[in-house]
Chains A and B, each alone.
Chain A
Amino acid sequence: DADVTQTPRNRITKTGKRIMLECSQTKGHDRMYWYRQDPGLGLRLIYYSFDVKDINKGEISDGYSVSRQAQAKFSLSLESAIPNQTALYFCATSDAGEQTQYFGPGTRLLVL
């Protein structure tokens, strides 16, 4: 969905490096989410935010941190990347009170 954009689309980094993945949306949604997708697995929730002042851990938050800089921006950081964080990362948004989530195109991350 072009209303949700993610940068970069692909990233290769080395073990121990700090990296940031960014998500922006023009849908005007209050809620934003970060998911991780591994081959053969469904999407797993890392963090979610209901508004700028609200940040919540998801199922697999260890090793990750987030920042909600504005209603439209939600970034995911890996403080010290490790190889098992190699995955596809998706940002999603939803309107307050709605359960339908709309996803960005994803970031493919490789940690060497």
Chain B
Amino acid sequence: GESVGLHLPTLSVQEGDNSIINCAYSNSASDYFIWYKQESGKGPQFIIDIRSNMDKRQGQRVTVLLNKTVKHLSLQIAATQPGDSAVYFCAESSSGYELNFGKGTSLLVTP
């Protein structure tokens, strides 16, 4: 299948700073993208998604940017808090149902 990868396996940010987590994908037919947050001992939790007909979508303190030209996806977290510490996964779909997941980025928020 097509690969979905992350540029950095770990990211450390200071509390209050903005965080940017990046994701690259290779399937030009991907039309749906989603970000999940996974805390230790828990299942992945939906954060935000975006379809390929958009290049930006905002949620509460989070923004997803999609650059289809370079097949790049990013998750921006504003004013990062200790509770944001977790592993973040991106996933893409071109089938309408099957999600292909990246390996994850560990975000560590330091005081």
Q: Which A residues are closer than 8 A to B by beta carbons?
A: 1, 4, 31, 40-45, 48, 50, 58-59, 90, 94, 99-106
Contact = CB atoms under 8 A, between A and B. Distances in A.
Contact of B103 (A4, A31, A40): A40
B46 A99 contact: no
Given A31-B97, A99-B34, A99-B96, A1 B49 contact: no
A100 B34 CA distance: 8
Contact of A90 (B43, B46, B104): B43
Going nearest first, the 4 A-B pairs with the smallest beta carbon separation are A42-B101, A103-B43, A43-B101, A103-B44
Contact of A100 (B1, B41, B46): B46
B43 A104 contact: yes
Contacts of B93: 99
Contacts of A42: 4, 89, 91, 100-104
Contacts of B100: 42
Interface of B: 1, 4, 32, 34, 36, 41-46, 49, 89, 91, 93, 96-104
Nearest to A88: B43
A2 B102 CA distance: 25
Contacts of A43: 44, 89, 91, 99, 101
Contacts of B96: 99
A50 B101 CA distance: 20
Contacts of B41: 105-106
A50 B96 CA distance: 12
Given A1-B43, A40-B103, A41-B103, A94 B89 contact: no
Nearest to B51: A99
A103 B97 CA distance: 14
Nearest to B89: A42
Given A100-B34, A106-B43, 11 more contacts: A42-B91, A42-B103, A43-B99, A94-B97, A99-B49, A99-B97, A100-B49, A101-B99, A103-B36, A103-B43, A103-B44
B99 A1 contact: no
A40 B100 CA distance: 15
